[in-house]
Structure 1
Amino acid sequence: MFTQRQNRNLLEATGTTLSLIYHQAVYNLRSTHQNAIIGILLIIAQTLLFVSIFMLLYLLVGIRGSPIRGDFMLYLMSGIFLFMSHVRTVGAVSSSHSPGGGLVKHAPLNPAVLIAASALSTLYGQSISAIVILGVYHIAVNPISIYFFPGALAMFLLAWFGGVCVGLVFLGLRPWIPKIAPLLTMAYQRVNMIASGKMFVANTVPNIMLPWFAWNPLFHLIDQARGFLFVNYTPQKTDYHYAIWVFIGLLMLGLLINFTTRKYESVSWTAAQ
């Protein structure tokens, strides 16, 4: 038990890393509740609560139908699923570990494993939540028809990937500004409540107000997802390529900040906390 395992080739090293990511992801999922099934049900309940709140808000405002010709609930859920996948991944990755923490100093565990496990566990939880809610709605309430499912799925995965990239930036900033970085993460999540554009259709936004939302990659992804979901809607003011390039830039920035942080961070930085 005191002999350190040595990987003899690249295949064994890959298998070891994937195994570590799997077990860490399972640990992250079970950390919400001792029972894994109840933990998944809690994630589903939180998403349902979000959907219910926005549906009630629409009803109070007087909007009883979808701005897009199609199912109103599918329109509502399309924005919420992408929004929650993005902001939850940002929170999970940004708090996945401390670059100078003791846990990452025990091989073969490393920061990449902890980041990947946090991101994948969030993706798993949000995917199961979306599948269950859409499945129950399709069977019990109203059959759902999706115009181009691969495109809608790609937008969902891009929203998750964007959450990983943004979370990496906040993760790298935490050791430098430990009090401010969590506030910045929370502020980003709260701003996306409005700036993501999940409550309205991008084609109806006046051009004078478009710059308030067009900077946000999630705004583009949600609108593009609705274009893939509804046969009667064609996005005219958004482009998913913009989101891809922004996320790649944030990924490079996040990796640069994290590599620099691990090079210079000292344990004494957090000694007074």
Structure 2
Amino acid sequence: MQNSSEMIHGIPRRNAFKIMCDTVHALLMREVKARFGSSKLGYFWVIAEPLAQAAVLGLLFTLIGRNSFANVPVALFLFTGILPFKLFSKLLSQLSVGIASNKALFAYRQVAPIDPVITRFVIEIATYAIVYLVIMAALAWLGFDVVPDQLLPFFMANGLLIIISFGLGLALCAAVQEWEDTPKLLAMVLTPMFYLSGVFFAATMIPAQYWYLLTWNPIFHIIELSRDAYFVSYTTPVGDWRYVMLCALVLLFLGLGLYRINRVRFSA
């Protein structure tokens, strides 16, 4: 029989972790319904967007006579750049406004400011995994070899991308608290980053004297390392695991620190 410290009026006491899990689950159902349930084509557009980007870029490269990069088919090369960058950009755009968009929910004592951020984080990771599997299954059906050459480094690169995105997303929550136009600035920054992150080119396609213009960008390193792990025919000359790990740790601690400092203001 449970003692009184574990029971409240005959109901089992929930610890903080259980409360957070229940809250995130409820927010997850609410967020999924709001984001995808309002449109019958909601799930379709999630897959159609990266497909359309890859198709346009693939057509452009085909028109100029490029059918492969480093002996890698154009379609596979583009998807291994577009999908990671889409995950990064979607995580930042969703996490950065996760707290500001759910202020009304903080009137409920069991809802903490971190809960909607975790909810959106889970949704974006799950969506990315589903989109990735669907697209790669379609490419496999078309006859492409879609199995990564080195699984562990490939998953490590994606894991570091997720950590960087989560830490930076939390930091941006604090920025949104101070300046409500932060999402507009973020959209302006993400547009040039798409062209500077190696989505549709590789480091080997650029003269070595210009690499310094791109190697400050950890997303460029991640895409390079991801392709290095994915394709046996490609070896990155610039991908640096130590730099990416350092960026991941710094941004994660920055995000967690800013959340800790501002957690009371987030609830106000």
Q: Is the 8 A contact 1:99 1:111 kept in 2?
A: no
Residue 36 (structure 1) shift: 8.6
**CA shift in 2, pair 1:66/1:13, >3 Å:** same
Task: Give yes or no for the alignment of 1:59 onto 2:58.
Answer: no
Aligned to 2:51: 48
**CA shift in 2, pair 1:261/1:123, >3 Å:** same
Q: Which has the higher mean CA deviation after the structures are superposed, 79-88 or 49-58?
A: 49-58
Residue 79 (structure 1) shift: 0.3
**CA shift in 2, pair 1:250/1:66, >3 Å:** same
Following the alignment from structure 1 to structure 2, what is the Cα–Cα distance between the partners of residues 5 and 31? 35
Aligned to 2:103: 101
Following the alignment from structure 2 to structure 1, what is the Cα–Cα distance between the partners of residues 10 and 17? 14
Residue 63 (structure 1) shift: 4.2
Aligned to 2:35: 32
Give the letter aligned to residue 190 of structure 1: T
**CA shift in 2, pair 1:266/1:33, >3 Å:** closer
Residue 6 (structure 1) shift: 7.9
Q: Is the 8 A contact 2:92 2:168 kept in 1?
A: yes
Aligned to 1:271: none
**CA shift in 2, pair 1:173/1:202, >3 Å:** same
Gaps of 5+ in 1: 268-273
Aligned to 1:210: 211
Residue 158 (structure 1) shift: 2.3
Following the alignment from structure 2 to structure 1, what is the Cα–Cα distance between the partners of residues 122 and 82? 19
State the TM-score, normalized to the length of structure 1. Answer: 0.85
Residue deviations 1:160-183 (CA, integer Å, cap 9, x gap): 32221221121111121112x122
Following the alignment from structure 2 to structure 1, what is the Cα–Cα distance between the partners of residues 192 and 202? 18
Following the alignment from structure 2 to structure 1, what is the Cα–Cα distance between the partners of residues 102 and 21? 23
Q: Is the 8 A contact 1:169 1:254 kept in 2?
A: yes
Residue deviations 1:184-205 (CA, integer Å, cap 9, x gap): 2112311221111111111332
Aligned to 1:238: 239
Residue 94 (structure 1) shift: 0.3
Following the alignment from structure 1 to structure 2, what is the Cα–Cα distance between the partners of residues 265 and 132? 37
Following the alignment from structure 2 to structure 1, what is the Cα–Cα distance between the partners of residues 257 and 67? 46
Residue deviations 1:78-110 (CA, integer Å, cap 9, x gap): 001111011100001001122992322312111
Give the letter aligned to residue 79 of structure 1: G
Give the letter aligned to residue 30 of structure 1: K
Gaps of 5+ in 2: 1-7
Q: Is the 8 A contact 2:167 2:248 kept in 1?
A: yes
Which of 132, 144, 147 pairs up with 2:146? 144
Aligned to 2:225: 224
Following the alignment from structure 2 to structure 1, what is the Cα–Cα distance between the partners of residues 212 and 35? 38
Which of 110, 129, 146 pairs up with 2:131? 129
Following the alignment from structure 1 to structure 2, what is the Cα–Cα distance between the partners of residues 17 and 263? 17
State the TM-score, normalized to the length of structure 2. Answer: 0.86
Q: Is the 8 A contact 2:58 2:74 kept in 1?
A: no
**CA shift in 2, pair 1:235/1:24, >3 Å:** same
Following the alignment from structure 1 to structure 2, what is the Cα–Cα distance between the partners of residues 130 and 80? 10
Which of 23, 27, 41 pairs up with 2:26? 23
Following the alignment from structure 1 to structure 2, what is the Cα–Cα distance between the partners of residues 188 and 25? 28
**CA shift in 2, pair 1:139/1:210, >3 Å:** same
Task: Give yes or no for the alignment of 1:182 onto 2:183.
Answer: yes
Following the alignment from structure 2 to structure 1, what is the Cα–Cα distance between the partners of residues 117 and 10? 23
Aligned residue pair count: 261
Which of 87, 90, 95 pairs up with 2:89? 87
C-alpha RMSD over aligned residues: 2.6
Give the letter aligned to residue 56 of structure 1: L
Q: Is the 8 A contact 2:90 2:124 kept in 1?
A: yes
Aligned to 1:270: none
Following the alignment from structure 2 to structure 1, what is the Cα–Cα distance between the partners of residues 114 and 265? 18
